[in-house]
């Protein structure tokens, strides 16, 4: 996994104060990183339009124009002129080697957005909005310098943003790049080395970007074993039994030795899944909430809640049920997996605030961190285009999910996967991280049209990881 930072100004400052580097050196390396992306994606003599702002992000773009001059046909457009000292210095250098400024946007093969970088704390002005709209309509390979212009410090378009194919983040990964609201603007994210190695540049962080290498599959290595060695995952059936069937099927496919559904209904379940009226004595993980509805067995639920030895996965309908307050007050050993609307209901019930789904999406990182500091032993997984997993204020971001997962039943599969790993002895955090990665990576491997993915096809892909 890689570290992610809310801001990197302090990291840049450390380069100046401790390592003897200056803005000039960092800027040259930033521009060289963008130049490499252009060389990897455009043949020589292609047309490169660089739209530069007046600050140091603009200075990165101006530096790039000097580096690429003569190698490509470079157009430098500076709609607000050069304002920072470094931008003025870089513009003077660019002019000396022959870079010419243009007065309006020209058609080109590559567009580089270097108007505003990270740290945008107010909405874009009307003139810049018009420019970005024009750039977004152009057919070209699009690169954002540091962060797409218009994305604010929380990761929200303000009010619009540049639509990049690739974003070159300067020095380190930045939190705003991984908000759900930024997902359609950032494209592929590359981190630029600014003159020192990552280990030297980066400091401490409590936010991390998950990588596929962080997935720990429940591969069976012990040869002398039986089903009892791999746990018994139990699901509480509610009004919609299909959810429990999907979740239990996912758990069984992901390695649980046994899976059971607690129900007093006469429902058809897969042959390998057991039906029971009570909690099995050998239960090693308990999952509920999926398809729960309003009518369910509260006595069985609280029997498990009061048994601290059995880890719990909580999903879906329970987040709008007043019983969640008592559950949170009684239990520590559990994982919550809401989507934004469910998280909104949860926060209202526990008195943390009345947030709309839009509020949740605009403040995902802050709200998740606040919740998990309040309930420090609980693991929270907030679903979304970029899934956020957190415990005690430490956040882990999973960006691998695809829009193929935007189907009913996908969340039930995820709950089943988490429960399965818990039943096999994973810690709360490890189970959540590995199940989330398996769920997301399986969706990427799905070979058919992305609109056609169903829960059982997803389970089949998980079997092949």
User: What's 416's domain CATH number?
Assistant: 3.40.1190.20
Same domain for 184 and 221?
A: no
Same domain for 348 and 413?
A: yes
Same domain for 285 and 418?
A: yes
Q: What is the tally of structural domains in the chain?
A: 2
Same domain for 220 and 182?
A: no
* H-helix segments, 165-317: 183-186, 198-201, 241-253, 298-305
The enclosing H or E element of 13 equals helix 9-19
Same domain for 332 and 417?
A: yes
Same domain for 69 and 173?
A: yes
Q: Cα separation of 298 and 234, whole Å?
A: 15
Which residues, 6+ apart, have CB-to-CB distance to 20 below 8 Å? none
Same domain for 265 and 381?
A: yes
* H-helix segments, 271-339: 298-305, 323-330
Q: Which residues of the chain have pLDDT under 50?
A: none
Query: Which CATH number fits the domain that encloses residue 105?
Result: 3.40.50.10260
| Terminal C-alpha separation, the chain | 19
**Closest Cα partner for 386 from 346, 428, 456, 436?**
436
Q: Cα separation of 208 and 173, whole Å?
A: 9
Q: What is residue 294's predicted lDDT score, i.e. its pLDDT?
A: 79
Q: What is residue 219's predicted lDDT score, i.e. its pLDDT?
A: 94
* Domain final residue, candidates 174, 205, 236: 205
* Domain final residue, candidates 205, 226, 256: 205
Pairing of strands 285-288, 274-276: unpaired
Same domain for 23 and 88?
A: yes
Check residue 333 and report its DSSP letter.
S
Structure tokens at 236: 């509480």
Q: What is residue 295's predicted lDDT score, i.e. its pLDDT?
A: 77
Q: Cα separation of 57 and 171, whole Å?
A: 13
Q: What angle do CA 418, 377, 173 make, to 5 degrees?
A: 75
Same domain for 199 and 234?
A: no
The whole domain housing 325 covers: 213-463
Q: Are 148 and 185 in contact (CB under 8 A)?
A: yes
The enclosing H or E element of 21 equals none
Same domain for 119 and 183?
A: yes
Same domain for 45 and 186?
A: yes
* Domain final residue, candidates 181, 205, 229: 205
The pLDDT tens digits for 406-464 are: 999 999 999 999 999 999 999 999 999 999 999 999 999 999 999 999 999 999 999 99
Same domain for 196 and 338?
A: no
């Amino acid at each position: 996994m890689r570290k992610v930072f809310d801001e990197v100004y302090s990291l840049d400052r450390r380069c100046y104060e401790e390592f003897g580097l200056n803005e000039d050196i960092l800027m040259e390396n930033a521009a060289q990183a963008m130049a490499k992306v252009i060389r990897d994606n455009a043949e020589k003599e292609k047309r490169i339009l660089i739209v530069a702002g007046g600050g140091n992000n603009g200075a990165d773009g101006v530096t790039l124009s000097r580096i690429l001059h003569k190698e490509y046909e470079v157009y430098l457009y500076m709609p607000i002129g050069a304002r920072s000292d470094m931008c003025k210095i870089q513009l003077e250098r660019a002019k000396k080697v022959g870079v010419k400024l243009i007065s309006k946007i020209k058609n080109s093969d590559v567009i580089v957005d270097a108007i505003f970088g990270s740290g945008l704390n107010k909405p874009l002005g009307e003139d810049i909005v018009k420019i970005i709209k024009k750039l977004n309509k152009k057919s070209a390979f699009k690169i954002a310098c540091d962060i797409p212009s218009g994305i604010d410090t929380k990761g929200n378009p303000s009010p619009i943003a540049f639509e990049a194919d690739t974003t070159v983040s300067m020095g380190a990964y930045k939190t705003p790049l991984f908000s759900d609201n930024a997902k359609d603007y950032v494209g592929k994210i590359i981190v630029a080395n600014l003159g020192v190695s990552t280990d030297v540049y980066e400091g401490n962080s409590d936010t991390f970007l998950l990588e596929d290498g962080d997935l720990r599959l429940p591969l069976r290595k012990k040869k002398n074993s039986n089903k009892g060695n791999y746990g018994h995952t139990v699901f509480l059936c509610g009004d919609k039994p299909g959810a429990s069937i999907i979740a239990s099927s996912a758990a069984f496919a992901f390695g649980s030795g046994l899976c059971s559904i607690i129900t007093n209904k006469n429902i058809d379940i897969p042959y390998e899944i057991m039906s029971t009226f009570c909690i099995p004595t050998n239960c090693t993980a308990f999952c509920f909430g999926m398809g729960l509805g309003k009518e369910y067995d509260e006595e069985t639920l609280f029997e498990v809640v009061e048994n601290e030895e059995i880890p719990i996965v909580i999903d879906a309908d329970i987040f709008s049920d007043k019983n969640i307050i008592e559950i949170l007050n009684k239990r520590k050993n559990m994982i919550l997996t809401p989507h934004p609307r469910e998280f909104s209901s949860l926060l209202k019930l526990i008195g943390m605030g009345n947030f709309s789904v839009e509020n949740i999406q605009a403040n995902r990182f802050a709200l998740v961190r606040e919740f998990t500091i309040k309930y420090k032993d609980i693991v929270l997984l907030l679903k979304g285009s970029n899934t956020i997993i957190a415990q005690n204020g430490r956040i882990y971001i999973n960006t691998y999910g695809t829009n193929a997962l935007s189907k009913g039943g996908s969340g039930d599969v995820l709950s089943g996967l988490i429960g399965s790993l818990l039943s096999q002895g994973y810690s709360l955090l490890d189970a959540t991280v590995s199940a989330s990665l398996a769920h997301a990576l399986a969706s990427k491997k799905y070979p058919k049209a992305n609109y056609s993915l169903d829960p059982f096809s997803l389970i089949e892909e998980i079997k092949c990881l």
